[in-house]
Amino acid sequence: MSWDERTIERQDQKGPSTFFSASLRLCVCAVGISLVFHGVAAAELATHGMVVSEHALASAAGVEILQKGGNAIDAAAATALAVGVTNPTSCGIGGGGFLLAYFPGTQRAVALDYRERAPAAATREMFIRDGKADPALSRSGGLAIAVPGEVAGLTHAVRRYGRLPFATVIAPAVRLARDGFPIGAHLAESIAHNRDVIQTFPALAAVLLHPDGSPRAAGEPLKQPALAHTLENIAEQGPDAFYRGAVAADIVDATRTAGGILTVEDLAQYRPTARTPLRGGYRGHEVLTMPPPSSGGGVLLEILNIIARDDLVALGHNSPTTLHLLVEAMKHAFADRAEVYGDPDFVSVPLPRLLSLRYATAVRDSISTRTTFDRDFYGAAEPSRDAGTSHLSVIDADGNAVAVTTTVNTAFGSMVLAPQSGVILNNEMDDFAAQPGVPNVFGLIGAAANAVAPHKRPLSSMTPTIVLDHNRAMLIAGGSGGPVIITATLQTLLNVVDFDFDVNAAVAASRVHDQWVPEVLAVEPGIDVMTRTALERLGHHVREVPNLAAVQAVRVTAGGYTGAADPRKGGAAQGW
């Protein structure tokens, strides 16, 4: 059976979107930044369109497509494909992701789930050895590989919502893979950091290391002819060129050689899924974000609901009181994430309860201004470094807004590269709960709701988000970095909506993160010593970390579109 776009699974007609009410108070006070992680660059301003991604060449690819008459969907797909070529440590066609879009002309929001899913032969016990979870099995090698969704998702998005032929959209990525590009600082750092592991995977080492085993360095040209050929075939034949035939056989052979269970049937049966976007209210704005199997949207909205009655401006930006309140809300929401979130095709996620005003009020009333609490206070879960993932934000001349978060999970995914097709394959099986209460590579624990099952999608923290003001996008944001994606996106949103920061300042400002387990409050260096001391006196276990996620954002103002690429990871905002 050939690929048929009509067979896409649809979930967006099963009921009303989740909506919670929050304070409608508008913040009219502007404050200056007191705590910033990096120097704030001058904002990139444009009136016809804006593309922000973690690589300048990828952002340029998106602008190229806009200039050829494409819309935000076309540009987002082109950018995502180009990032997969230029930053293969983060994402690529061997991975998957989520796309969130808003079309102001029809006031329609779209959420497309092309998350990877477990092979048919996957079992709940597949990572258990001698009664215990073996983390190594889900983090690299063949068993770590889930069915990729990137090609299916992006081709569907362009065909359904774009203006240009997919062959035109994919052309910049083909060119970058074929002709090569200078290795960027982030990719070079990731290659060097992971060199010892890369050396144990010969096909990947042949691309990323020199013959003597030394890592390819920043500025060196990187060409990927096998990947270019695969992308050219997809341009000509559509997704069947990936999910059937020679490329599929190459992927399966590489997976099986590495000890995996993926089959050609798993690839041929993959379809993206249309979901109903989550909708929330905050300070008079509507917040659109991704539903499960992403936990990011629900956790984000739950936190916003908990803090909605607090005047953050009066409390002060990154003050001890503000940060304590945010952290306590984070811990409650992440405890809920661990207990009940999973693939909605397999489990019922109680979002109406979690996102209700009654629930938020009860949680807020339980938060003490004088202390934090032990782990058990926050949830009833069963006993129990940013690399992969990339985000991009796009807006076009008509105000169509797209937020895409895409990933192979950790750096270079499973480390398995299919040699004939040049595809680096994900390690998304690690995002399942291999065993209740046992943490994954990001320190996150889960319960039965996120257990492994055939064809199931693992829980994700990706949080593509669009904030509306009077039915027009005013902020497009999301990030990379595992669970810190959620809290980094949250704090960027607060910096814009509550504190009225310009988008570069909002992205650059110092952040904190607490995910309930482990019991650590991570803070960036820009959080001053007095604030850290105050938080420690409240009982928080404070630890400094150099970077908490990388956010790519677009803000819409009366003057046009401004874009900000996070200085923590590089990248570029480009407009026209």
pLDDT tens by residue, 249-278 = 999 999 999 999 999 999 999 999 999 999
Q: How far is CA 47 from the centre of its chain?
A: 27
- Peptide bond just before 454 cis, omega within 30 deg: no
Strands (E), 278-319: 278-282, 285-289
Q: What is the pLDDT of residue 32?
A: 35
Mean pLDDT in the chain? Answer: 91
Give me Rg for the CA atoms of the chain.
22
Q: What phi and psi, each to the nearest 5 degrees, are found at residue 123?
A: -135, 160
Residue 442: its pLDDT value, please?
62
Position 448 scores a pLDDT of 83
Indicate the range of 23-27, 146-150, 154-158, 410-414 predicted with least confidence.
23-27
Q: Is residue 319 part of a domain?
A: yes
Kindly report, residue by residue over 499-555, the tens digit of the pLDDT. 999 999 999 999 999 999 888 999 999 999 999 999 999 999 999 999 999 999 999
Query: In this predicted structure, what is the pLDDT of residue 168?
Result: 99
3-state SS assignment for residue 565: strand
Cβ–Cβ under 8 Å, residues 410 and 387: yes
More confident call, 143 vs 18: 143
pLDDT digits (tens, 9 = 90+) for 456-480: 999 999 999 999 999 999 999 999 9
Are 7 and 1 contacting, i.e. CB atoms less than 8 angstroms apart?
Answer: no
Report if residue 240 sits inside a domain. no
CB atoms within 10 A of CB 212: 5
**Does residue 379 carry a pLDDT above 60?**
no
Tokens describing residue 420: 């004939």
pLDDT at 373: 84
pLDDT > 60? residue 15: no
Residue 555 falls inside a structural domain: yes
d(CA 51, CA 396): 9
CA 368 – CA 354 distance, rounded (Å): 20
Query: How far is residue 259's CA from residue 507's CA, in Å, rounded to a whole number?
Result: 41
Give the pLDDT of residue 286. 99
Token pair of 327 as six digits: 């952290």
Higher pLDDT: 501 or 41? It is: 501
Rounded mean pLDDT, 303-318: 98
Average pLDDT over residues 400-415: 98
pLDDT category of residue 298 using cuts at 50, 70 and 90 = very high
285 to 212, 354, 442, 473: CA distances (angstroms): 56, 20, 32, 10
Looking at this protein, which amino acid is placed at residue 83? Answer: V
* 93 in Cβ contact with 150 (< 8 Å): yes
Query: Is-contact 396 49, C-beta < 8 A?
Result: yes
Say what the pLDDT of residue 438 is: 66
User: What local confidence, expressed as pLDDT, does residue 18 receive?
Assistant: 35
Tell me the Ramachandran region of residue 8: left when phi exceeds 0, alpha when psi lies from -120 to 50, beta otherwise: beta
The reply to whether 532 falls in a domain is yes
14, pLDDT greater than 90: no
Span 432-438, average pLDDT: 77
In a domain, 525, yes or no: yes
Total domains, the chain? 1
CA angle 303, 301, 24 (to 5 degrees): 90
- pLDDT score of 8: 38
CB 507 within 8 A of CB 562: no
Tell me the average pLDDT across 232-255: 99
Inside any domain, residue 373: yes
Q: What is the pLDDT of residue 374?
A: 78
CA-based end-to-end distance of the chain: 43
The pLDDT of residue 439 is 65
What is the strand order of the sheet 9-10 is part of?
A: 9-10, 273-275, 108-114, 96-103, 401-407, 390-395, 50-53, 572-575
Neighbouring-strand partners of residue 20: 280
* Residue 374 located in a structural domain: yes
Strand, coil or helix: 310: coil
Domain extent, residue 308, equals 278-384+464-575
Question: Which residues touch 338 (CB under 8 Å, ≥6 apart)?
Answer: 379, 381, 384, 444, 445, 446, 447, 516, 517
CATH code where residue 501 lies: 3.60.20.40
Q: Which residue is catalytic, options 18, 86, 372, 389?
A: 389
State the DSSP string of 217-234: -TT-EE--HHHHHHHHHH
pLDDT of residue 91: 97
Residue 103: the pLDDT is 99
Helix (H) or strand (E) run with residue 551 in it: strand 550-557
Handedness of CA 18, 24, 28, 33 (dihedral sign): negative
Say which residues have a Cβ less than 8 Å from residue 532's Cβ, sequence separation at least 6.
Answer: 523, 542, 544
Q: Is 389 a catalytic residue?
A: yes
Q: Tell me how far CA of residue 407 lies from CA of 19, 77, 142, 335, 526, in angstroms.
A: 28, 14, 17, 24, 28
Residue 130, sorted as left (phi over 0), alpha (psi -120 to 50) or beta, turns out to be: left
Q: Give bridge partners of residue 18 from the DSSP assignment.
A: none
Please answer whether residues 419 and 249 qualify as being in contact, where contact means their C-beta atoms are separated by less than 8 angstroms: no
Asked whether residue 248 is domain-assigned, the answer is no
- Asked whether 522 and 514 are in contact (CB, 8 A), the reply is yes
pLDDT at 228 over 70: yes
| Alpha helix stretches (DSSP H) within 450-508 | 484-497, 503-508
* Whole-number pLDDT of residue 385: 46
Give residue 45's pLDDT: 86
Q: What is the pLDDT of residue 34?
A: 40
Q: Would you state the pLDDT for residue 225?
A: 99
Between strands 285-289 and 278-282, the pairing is antiparallel
Own/partner contacts of 320-324, CB < 8 Å, gap of 24 or more, are: 320/531, 320/534, 320/535, 320/538, 321/369, 323/512, 323/527, 323/531, 323/535, 324/369, 324/372, 324/535, 324/538, 324/540
pLDDT digits (tens, 9 = 90+) for 330-367: 999 999 999 899 999 999 999 999 999 999 999 999 99
